Structure 1
Amino acid sequence: MNEVSNDKALTGVVGLDDILSGGLTRRHVFLLEGSPGTGKTTIALQFLLEGAALKERCLYISLSETEEELRDSARSHGIEFGDTIEIFELVPPESLLDADQQQSLLYSSDLELGETTKLIFEAFERVKPHRVVIDSLSEIRLLAQGSLRYRRQILALKHFFSRSDATVLLLDDMTSDNLDKTVHSVVHGVIHLEQLAPDYGAERRRLRVIKYRGQSFRGGYHDFVIKTGGVSVFPRLRAVEHRTGFERTTLKSGIPEFDDLLGGGIERGSSTLLIGPAGTGKSLFTLQFVDAAVRRGEKAAVFIFDEELGLLFSRTKTLGLDLEELRDNGSIHIEQLDAAELSPGEFSQRVRDRVASFDAKTVVIDSINGYQASMPEENALILHMHELLQYLNRQGANTFLTVAQHGLVGDMKSPVDVTYLADTVILLRYFEAMGKVRRAVSVIKKRTGKHEDTIREFRIDSTGLTLGEPLSGFQGVLRGVPTFVGERQPLLPTADKGDDNS
């Protein structure tokens, strides 16, 4: 077998090598720690399977699980590794379990610790592996019965492995009452896994690289999931790392009156927030830009948190927009998301994948209210949205976000204020006039240019969106109960009556 010459050992875990700047430095000892259920064994098996795929000799030394349990764990991910990985199941010698054979001058733990270390060294010398996993350190810690002996034992293991070409991964399930962190100073790098249990929904898992000697890495917490096939990590998004060149052209919505309200349209590579009470038509406005993008020959990605796709398809089809057909012919990607089952990091990765692989130039997130449900706190939502919007802008993609406000008319509140993040903010409102409930739209912010400071009425019917002339004859439209101050104001005709003019 040819010796492996590259300096990094890939972990085989999607996303983790990106966080580690290429993998684990060869010929060093690393610690993978986390409470039971965080995914240590799965990551360790993926690490060895990656080595086996490269024709490297791999050894799994188990002090806590049987070989059959390890193979069952691999089978749960659809993996049969056969004899490509050497599994050494370390069990105490029978003489140490026999009370008649135990010596009275030495504690049995002293004998067990020495015998355990000896068996580890013998297995290593027999296989001469390139990759080693020792599962788990908690067994050695209990046998050591003290911080000093435990540290010396880890140092002995480190010095023994340092004389070889092996890359070693030590697992620690952190089940000891007195957790000894001195091993952190001994190993070359430390990866910490966590499992969080929200009040509702699936458990959330995240990891953090605590230490990596002589190597830069992506700091902070990174979400990850365990699914059939193994662990997938979603590196924390840093928009500053992603920038592409594109021409900042003005894009039309397809509705002349709406484009006039926007000062000609929106600029490529910008974000737009549509805010208003439920039912005002926020989703329909975003889909108008999706339809315009498809007509330009571009692709779009739509992420729905709040509405069932079948209902959305049926509703928009009656308005002349067949989203199902656009999805089937590959013009758009549309996906319904469950906030209770989705971590923020996974969502960001899905959006990035659609921009990178699907080449989506228009991205819709409907709504921020649903996205917020997947976030532990509002501050984190703002940070996630800032990085995601900056990333999309730098890719030349147009992003459309919706936020449903509490209330219908009058003083309304938003669950989270993201207006300062968006480049353009469009406000939708209900108002009452001539005994009917009507809708109004206005642009209250646009960073990239001028826009109308007027308020226009709009109507939703079988033809889609229709905008009227500026409402110059009313005051107080945004409050919902306007006062008529003009001589005559043309209003859009309603479905059951002709023109409503005053």
Structure 2
Amino acid sequence: MDIKSTGMPGLDEILGGGIPTTSTVLIAGNPGTGRTTLGIQSLCYASKEGEKVLYVCPTTKSEASIRETLSQYDFYEESLNIRTYNISSVERDPLTMLVDLGNAVASLNPDRILIDPVTPIGFGFPEAERRRFMYSLNSAMNDWNAIVYLTGTMSTQEMCRSVITDIVDGVIYLSQKIGRVNTDRRLRVIKFSGLSYLNGEHFFEASSSGVSIYPRIEIPFSRPDWNSERIGFGIDKLEKLMGGGLFRQSSTLLAGNTGTGRTIFGLQFILDGAMKGEPGIISSFEETPEEIRYYAENLGYDLKELEDKDLVRIFHMAPSEINPCKHAIKLKEHIETIGAKRVVIDDISGFENAFGVCAEKREHLSNLIRLFKALDITSVLIGGNMAPGSDLLVSEIPVSSFVDNLILLRNLEIDDEIKKALYILKMHGSNHEKRLVEYNIDSDGIHIGEFLKDM
């Protein structure tokens, strides 16, 4: 098949390259999900590439009014051909519209057509007659020899009952959940004949700049070649506790309550790599780049100098702005740009704003870890952003089961004094210390102390 780009790289990736040149696609969803924006954006992209495009709009507005609205988009192309039809007329007499549209298509011979929306057409007909009209429309679309987009205002239940989903080659469904701070928008390909597309839900954003689509991570499960090389935090006593350090390409969950110094441990891991010529990335949700640089300065490091040498990169995204798939794509770009070998995610509780279901967070983190392994990355995931005294083992079980290593950091009250202690709960493929050991953090860094016999 001859495949053409939709003009949106993320959507092309989901569809396996793009859309066949003669196909019909329904873009369905509730009001405000971005159906029109997606369709118009693809038309304007095609127009820039030299294709003839036609926008068919059943509406109460004039063409001039529609162009004025569309001109607010950054991607708008003046060469877009627009044909309007009175919406009340097409509800009652869709056949007249179909004849006129057929003549317009024969005259223009467009490469892409958008009918936006298709759902009101023939709305005044009894259901049986409306179905017959849709079959006539389908027959006409097949003769147009073009990519035809149809938009429809539909819920998932209405989409399943509609004849339109039967006659089109592909169905793309857009949904949104409006939250207190941001809007969670997702895209699913329900069907697409002849294409091997990426299943599941994908995140997207819609603005005046257009629709940006971020495919979900899908890394085939495979075991990378075993790498016996050890790396660590640059703390000799800690490396000994771990049996020599972390295996390269391994994943570590560093879990601890508030005040245990989890961010400092993660920073130390990245700084140790930078001092050895291994670029690293700190993906931070809470701490800003300025705060992280301040922490490094307190440890005696000029983080800005390391950033200028591309030995360290700080990738900050506020929790309220987290789009998991977008975060993964941007993080991968940063990894490839500086050739990173180490990554710290601080902290994974930031994903909770994006995932309402724990299983979604677990699946995303599992895929993220597989991505790191495929890119030869050793990763440290920081978790357990909880109040002192909370049960970390219970809270982190959904995540801790698929990481290679698990290190717990705790604040303990011993003899009326608060002490910091760490415990290595597991390390795949390595012997390690099983006892609780004290540590402290000061301006000289992290210091590993003696074993704690009493808790």
Worse overlay, 404-413 or 262-271: 404-413
Distance 1:246 1:49, change over 3 A: farther
Structure 2 unaligned blocks of 5 or more: none
**Which residue number corresponds to residue 285 of structure 1?**
265
Structure 2 CA distance for partners of 1:63 and 1:244, relative to 1, 3 Å:
farther
Q: Which moved more, 1:298-307 or 1:174-183?
A: 174-183
For 1:291, what is the secondary structure of its paired residue?
Answer: helix
1:69 deviates by 4.9
| Cα distance in 1 between the residues matched to 2:115 and 2:308 | 49
Write out per-residue CA displacement over residues 448-480 of structure 1, whole angstroms, 9 at most, x where no aligned residue.
312222333222111111223x41xx423xxxx
CA distance in 1 between partners of 2:199 and 2:7 (Å): 20
CA drift at 1:127: 0.7
Alignment-derived partner of residue 409 in structure 2: 428
Residue matched to 2:281 = 301
Q: 1:68 to 1:415 in 2, by over 3 A?
A: farther
Secondary structure class of the residue paired with 1:139: coil
Spell out, residue by residue over 1:413-471, the C-alpha distance to the aligned partner (whole angstroms, 9 max, x if none). Answer: 65442111211111112234565422222211000312222333222111111223x41
SS of the aligned residue for 1:240 comes to coil
Deviation at 1:220, TM superposition (A): 1.3
Structure 2 residue matching 1:63: 3-state secondary structure: strand
* 2:440 matches 1:475: no
Q: Percent identity?
A: 28
Distance 2:144 2:222 in 1: 39
Name the SS for the 2:286 alignment partner.
coil
The 3 A distance-change label for structure 1 pair 30 and 296 is same
Which residue of 59, 62, 66 corresponds with 2:54? 59
After superposition, give the CA deviation of every residue in 1:373-403 in whole Å (9 maximum; x if it has no partner): 2211112111111111122122211111112
1:146 & 1:355 partners in 2: Cα distance?
57
Correspondence 1:219 to 2:195: no
**Local SS of the residue matching 2:78:** coil
> What SS does the aligned partner of 2:120 have?
helix
Partner of 2:344: 364
Summarize the alignment of residues 36-435 of structure 1 with structure 2, pairs less than 5 Å apart: 36-64=31-59, 66-83=62-79, 85-91=80-86, 110=92, 112-143=93-124, 145-174=125-154, 180-198=161-179, 200-240=180-220, 248-404=228-384, 406-409=386-389, 414-417=394-397, 418-433=399-414
- 1:5-16 counterparts in 2 under 5 A? 7-16=2-11
CA deviations 1:109-155 (Å, max 9, x no partner) are 65x32221122112211211111111111220424x23222222222
How far apart in 2 are the matches of 1:302 and 1:118? 60
Aligned partner of 2:13 among 15, 18, 35? 18
Q: TM-score, normalised by structure 1?
A: 0.83
Give the Cα separation in 2 of the matches to 1:150 and 1:298: 65
Residues 75, 92 of structure 1: CA spacing in aligned structure 2 closer, same or farther, 3 A cutoff? closer
**Corresponding position of 2:29:** 34
SS of the residue aligned with 2:175? Answer: strand
Aligned mates of 1:407, 1:109 — CA distance in 2: 59
CA deviation after TM superposition for structure 1 residue 247, in Å: 5.0
Aligned length: 452
**In structure 1, C-alpha distance between the alignment counterparts of 2:91 and 2:421, rounded to whole Å:** 78
CA distance in 2, matches of 1:37, 1:242: 40
CA contact (8 A) 1:138 1:175 kept: no
Give me the whole-angstrom Cα distance separating, in 2, the residues matched to 1:127 and 1:230. 26
Partners of 1:373 and 1:92 lie apart in 2 by 41
For the 8 Å contact 1:369–1:415, the answer to whether it is kept is no
Residues 330-372 of structure 1 deviation map (CA, whole Å, 9 limit, x = unaligned)? 3222122222222322222222322334432211111122222
Structure 1 range deviating more: 378-387 or 303-312: 303-312
State whether residues 114 and 150 of structure 2, in contact with CA within 8 Å, keep that contact through their aligned partners in structure 1.
Answer: yes
Match of 1:440 among 399, 404, 421: 421
Counterparts in 2 of 1:248 and 1:46: CA distance versus 1, 3 Å = farther
Q: TM-score, normalised on structure 2?
A: 0.91
Q: Which whole-Å deviations, capped at 9, do the CAs of 1:207-238 have from their partners, x for residues lacking one?
A: 11111112221111111111342111111211
Shift in alpha-carbon separation, 1:38–1:411, aligned structure 2, 3 A: closer
Which ranges in structure 1 are unaligned for 5 or more consecutive residues? Answer: 1-5, 97-107, 477-481, 483-502
Residue 310 of structure 1 and its aligned partner are, at CA, apart by 2.7
Partner amino acid for 1:449? S
The letter of the residue matching 1:386 is S
- The amino acid of 2:286's aligned partner reads D
Match of 1:204, SS? Answer: strand
Partners in 2 of 1:304 and 1:373 — Cα distance? 14
Could you report, residue by residue, the CA deviation over 1:82-133 in whole angstroms, capped at 9, with x for unpaired residues? 22x211122379xx7xxxxxxxxxxx965x3222112211221121111111
Contact 1:405/1:412 (<8 A) preserved = no
Q: Output the CA distance in 2 between the equivalents of 1:197 and 1:464.
A: 43
Letter in 2 for 1:377: V
**What is the identity, as a one-letter code, of the residue corresponding to 2:176?**
Q
Distance 1:23 1:16 in 2: 7
Please give the root-mean-square deviation of Cα atoms over the aligned residues, in Å. Answer: 2.7
In 2 relative to 1, CA 176–91 (structure 1 residues): closer, same or farther, beyond 3 Å?
farther
Corresponding residue SS for 1:302: strand
